[in-house]
Chain A
Amino acid sequence: MDKDFAARRRRDLIIAAALATIAALTPLFVKDVVVQNILILTLMYAGLSQSWNILSGYCGQISLGHALYFGLGAYTTELLFTKFGVLPWFGMLAGGVVSALIAMGLGYPFFRLRGHYFVIATIVIAEIGLLLFHNWEWAGAAMGITIPIRGDSWLKFQFLRTKLPYFYFALALCCLAWFVTWWLENSKWGFWWRAVKDNPEAAESLGVDVFNSKMGAAAVSAFLVAVGGSFYAQFVSYIDPESVMGFQFSLLMALPAVLGGIGTLWGPVLGAAILIPLTELTRFKFGGSGRGVDLIVYGTLIVLISLALPRGLLSLFSRPKKTGAAR
């Protein structure tokens, strides 16, 4: 039995490495900028959703306010860059740390809340953050920040002529988030998180530090999401409150994990691989008309999948395993 377990973990790692290699090679064949764009976004959201999944999927603390950390990452990086000339790479780290600290600070009062109260509190706090940034003159208020263009440079993580560096960074982010999840899944933290999700009281009785488990999950999750936010800011080179802290980001982080399979290792990747291209394509095809067809398609899909496959798309694949057939 132990051998099965170790084999399964190894298999996951091998599949991930194979997928990453294939992904890394795609730009050789895909030269279309629009498609590359979609690939970058897909990888980014896969990484973000994977990070969201740590707190909400594994630890069971459903957050619909992760846009806050995304935005904080973006703003920290760009404010440091435009106001103090700090390189984005350091800004990225700083954004991650700031977000993780804020997540833990918020955790103190938030983690006492249960169920719907917690969910609404996360929406509300992100909304407060959005409004504050809207009114913060120094940070550009509603006008936002335009990242000054200094030419292509790895140092400043800025590229005008090619999207490839962004592509590889998004891939790296996605791999990092996946690997962190993979690693934590079979650690004390991973077990504690799932125990806390399933039954906090029982977890407590088994020596699990429930509160600190949630804090740990929040910190890791917020850090990774903030790094994603920093990346996004560099990628689009213009940020304003709505475009990095809007509610849609919270939603787009949660959806891939939910559709793919919440609280699973592969769910977010699978969900993002399907959802993000679909979102972009519907927007590309119908969005221009401004008549909401993209929303209709998108919403219908969400309703259908959540009704038909409550455990996510991944449950389609995992069925055979139950009967013992090792594939």
Chain B
Amino acid sequence: MSSAMYERMRVNPKFQELVSRRGRFAWTLAFVVLAMFYGFVMVVAFNPAALGQPVAEGSMLTVGVAVELFMFIFFWTLTAVYVKRANSEFDALTQEIVKEAWKENK
């Protein structure tokens, strides 16, 4: 039954590889987002004046706006990077694992 299928997949070294590679990648990206976002929230909470400074003398663009705009773009870029890698590399690996488990089934 499927439980045996799951068992075969679990013992496949490729499964361990998938889990550790994808896990490391996903957690790294998540950590970057969390650290940047909560770092920013901490600045908002404890040193709000820093965000109101202009990026350059005479410019109306403040550090806060520039940092936030950067985060909007950067976070979205990270999602694109993750989707690209997951939808090619990780999905291919997943398919191999399932296929191999099926073969053993026969």
- Chains A and B are bound partners: no
